[in-house]
Amino acid sequence: MLVSAYKGLGNPGIGALVKRGAKPLGEKAMTSAERQARFRAKHADGTPRLRYRRPIDRRSRAQRWRDTVAELLVLQDDYRAWLASLPVTLHASAIADAMRAICDLDLSDLESVEPPCGFRRQLTPLDGGDDPTSGR
């Protein structure tokens, strides 16, 4: 099988919009046999290759909000402790100014916010008195 030299995408027409895959490692594109030999050499030791995916976060948005606000409060306390232990020579530095700006933020408003529950149907009394979805 004759393998020609890799010349890129060539004509900048419609074909230029299509992604052609990875560029070859050398001057010529690899043949199927070369690609298979490289794969077999890489897996020659016989150990299985495990690929881990990042686990899906199954928390609700409201729970993620509460966890994030709690983390912000912990970080703010850490910055307060860091600012308190900062050497006197750095009190007029940009680092101290940034830490003061973080410590001066009022995060109590974030704690009091309760995010909406989403689009699930609101529970109403069985008498149907104030049910906006009943159509009556």
- Tokens (6 digits) for 15: 């074909």
56 pLDDT exceeds 80? yes
- Tokens (6 digits) for 94: 């940009």
Percentage, residues of the chain above pLDDT 70: 71
Per the DSSP assignment, residues forming a β-bridge with 5 are 28
User: Using one digit for the tens of pLDDT, what is the confidence trace for 81-101?
Assistant: 999 999 999 999 999 999 999
User: Using one digit for the tens of pLDDT, what is the confidence trace for 8-45?
Assistant: 555 555 555 556 667 777 788 888 998 999 888 888 88
- Euclidean distance between CA atoms 4 and 18, whole angstroms: 20
Q: pLDDT at position 26, please?
A: 78
Q: pTM of the predicted model, to two decimals?
A: 0.49
